[in-house]
A and B are shown apart, each in its own frame.
Chain A
Amino acid sequence: MLAIGILGGGLAVVTLRNVIHSAVAMMICFGSLAGMYALLGAPIIAAAQVLIYLGAISVLILFAIMLTQAGDASLPAPFHRQAPIAVVIALVVVGLVTWAVISTAWHVAPTAAAVAIEAVGNLLFTDYALPFEIIGFLLLAAIIGAIFLARRPEEDERAN
């Protein structure tokens, strides 16, 4: 079920004409993914998914779409001329990786293991403290960059 949600959402994203519709489909996809994470015994990841993707990134994208809408312009052709090739390539990629996945003998446990929140928290502050800090810096840089990039020219002059 969730898989259908995921894949269906994805397909919708890439095939719908209207960008806003695609954004909504994306949100459906993200939601299904969150459910899948929960199924995989990682509720913290599911929560993070909802918070970050559904809460922040989707909103961000919707804002961006809104800010850049060119009025009631007629919807132009959604696909490039190279779309058929793109289909082929995507299928090839999928096919190759799938084949790799299927033909590998995975040494796996038969059932899913759960993820404990305390364990994750612990790891973040001990074994993976460095990446944690770096992520902080990365986000800082991203914020500064985004602010700078999205300025209007007049604000630039006033700042100078």
Chain B
Amino acid sequence: MATASDKIRRARPLLGTFVEIEVTGAAKSAMNTAIDAAFEAVAWVHRLMSFHEPDSDVSRLNREAFVRPINVHDWTYQVLQAAVEMHRRSNGMFDIAVAPELQAMGLLPGANDQNPIDAEARAFDPIELLEGQKVRFRQANVGIDLGGIAKGFAVDRALEVLRGFGAAGGIVNAGGDLAVFGEAPQAVHIRHPRDPRRLICSVEITDGALASTARRFDPFQSADTASSAIIDPVRRRPAPAIDGATVRASSCMTADALTKIVMIAGTDATELLEHYNANALLISTDGDVQITPDWHHAVYLAA
């Protein structure tokens, strides 16, 4: 059955979704070894940053970081640095400390027995990054969830592994958050947020990352959409008016985090997108598609 081919694509269930990895332009055995190592990098990010795994860095921080500084893995520290910077630059719109709200909504397990802190009583920046990869929370009852950024980081690490194996090209797609490298442009089709069976457009991408966020739906239950899992940290409730957002950036971590801001800020996110050298496409509740001006040449709409 093993035929000579210059391309291998495989998929595994990881990060609560399907992670798909493709490599091109190397010997078959080398490509399979690279894909195995890339899947391992994704699994490692999951073990470090899962809210659900009791031994993850995130769970250790949520249990103890208010009591004492906690030492975390270099990768976790990098993600926290990026998240804290994104939080500051977006004036709090990007916020990893919304775990108590997500728990209260039933979107994360284990509702806090103590009440979440009032929005007013909460410090703007409760996460303190210390020397030597140590992290401390400035307030009690702070709960972080890296669900809005860690998937993008996992994609970046997997792509880095593929590059390290000297493949000509590759793509890592973690349930829609993806990154590509190599000469050949890739076409990515974006689902319609209100009807996941429909594809709304095709986006062309070369050497870069693309992340998407949409209102929540469960493809096994129904195509009907439920409310978004994006919380507006200022109003502490689900963000309105936009059904879906897709962001292109040089890293998938940045693209992943920026989708959350675009879902809340819409076209007001322009300045921040420019700062991160990113482009965006958003689908508003009235069905209109809006694209940042320097990017529409790469977007092909279904019509």
Chain B associates with chain A: no
